[in-house]
Amino acid sequence: MENFGERLRRLRGTKSQREVASALEMPVTTLSSLENQTTIPRGEVLERLADYYKISINYFFGESQKELTVTDAAQAWLQHLRESAKGKDTVATQSNIILDDQVKTKIAERLRKRNAEVSNDE
């Protein structure tokens, strides 16, 4: 089964690392280390690679998604997060954009309204 680096190397095809690194505005050494990497990077790097190759981020996960297992430590951490958030308005986002308190409040209000609509439909 291919790992992340092998998938990335296959996407590059016959292009040189220098050519791809230049297009991605990253050092050649960074691209080289990514191609030798067995684990999948997160965030902006992964998004830039997917955008450049015009593929879904899921491509990099491939069959490895089936191998993921939940550890006891991960379950304990999730339980801790759930308990600390009970009774609080919590909005989690994955974004490079900083949201001010007014925008966060509007998001929370819309989510409450949506949740109420869903509850009423059930």
Q: How far apart are CA 62 and CA 78, in angstroms?
A: 25
So what's the pLDDT on residue 39? 77
31: which residues sit within 8 A by CB, 6+ positions away? 17, 20, 21, 24
- Under the banding of pLDDT at 50, 70 and 90, the label for residue 107 is confident
Q: For the purposes of burial, counting CB atoms within 10 Å of the CB of 12, is it exposed (0-12), middle (13-18) or buried (19 or more)? A: middle
So what's the pLDDT on residue 112? 84
Q: Taking 80 as the threshold, does the pLDDT of residue 66 lie above it?
A: no
Contact between residue 21 and residue 33 where contact means Cβ atoms under 8 Å apart: no
pTM of the model: 0.50
**In sequence order, which ranges of the chain are alpha helices (DSSP H)?**
4-12, 17-24, 28-35, 44-53, 58-61, 64-67, 72-85, 101-121
Q: Which domains does the chain have, with CATH numbers?
A: 4-67 (1.10.260.40), 72-121 (no CATH)
Q: What is the average per-residue pLDDT within 81-96?
A: 68
Q: What is the average per-residue pLDDT within 3-7?
A: 88
Torsion, Cα 50 68 40 12, to 10 degrees, reads -50
